[in-house]
């Protein structure tokens, strides 16, 4: 019960401004550090996956596109083949 209250009163209110900031950041390039894929993109993929699972990226086409590019990478596909699907919110 406490966790849900914290989520509703604090976390949920923080998601939208963070999504907006990250969405604007991707105006500079396809990836978070310009136009080349980097470790920063791998790090960013985890919170964005969780945000997407909550529906927080519905109004963020650049962030959804970023995740699509991550998912399309051959290394990502190989990792899924080896480790199986995952659910960050379970």
Residue 3 pLDDT exceeds 90: no
pLDDT top residue among 64 and 34: 64
Render pLDDT for 66-84 as a digit per residue (tens, 0 to 9).
Answer: 999 999 999 999 999 999 8
pTM, two decimal places: 0.83
CA distances from 14 to 10, 17, 20, 25 (A): 6, 6, 10, 17
DSSP 11-61: IHHHHHHHHHHHHHHGGG-SBTTBSS--HHHHHHHHHHHHHHHTTTTTT-H
Domains and CATH numbers, the chain: 2-83 (1.20.1050.10)
Q: Classify 86 as helix, strand or coil.
A: coil
């Amino acid at each position: 019960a406490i966790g849900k209250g914290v989520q509703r009163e604090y976390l949920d209110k923080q998601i939208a401004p963070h999504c907006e900031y990250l969405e604007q950041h991707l105006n500079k390039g396809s990836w978070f550090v310009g136009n080349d894929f980097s470790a920063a993109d791998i790090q960013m993929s985890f919170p964005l996956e969780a945000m997407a699972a909550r529906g927080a990226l519905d109004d963020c086409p650049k962030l959804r596109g970023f995740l699509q590019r991550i998912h399309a990478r051959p290394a990502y596909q190989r990792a899924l083949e080896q480790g199986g699907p995952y659910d960050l919110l379970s």
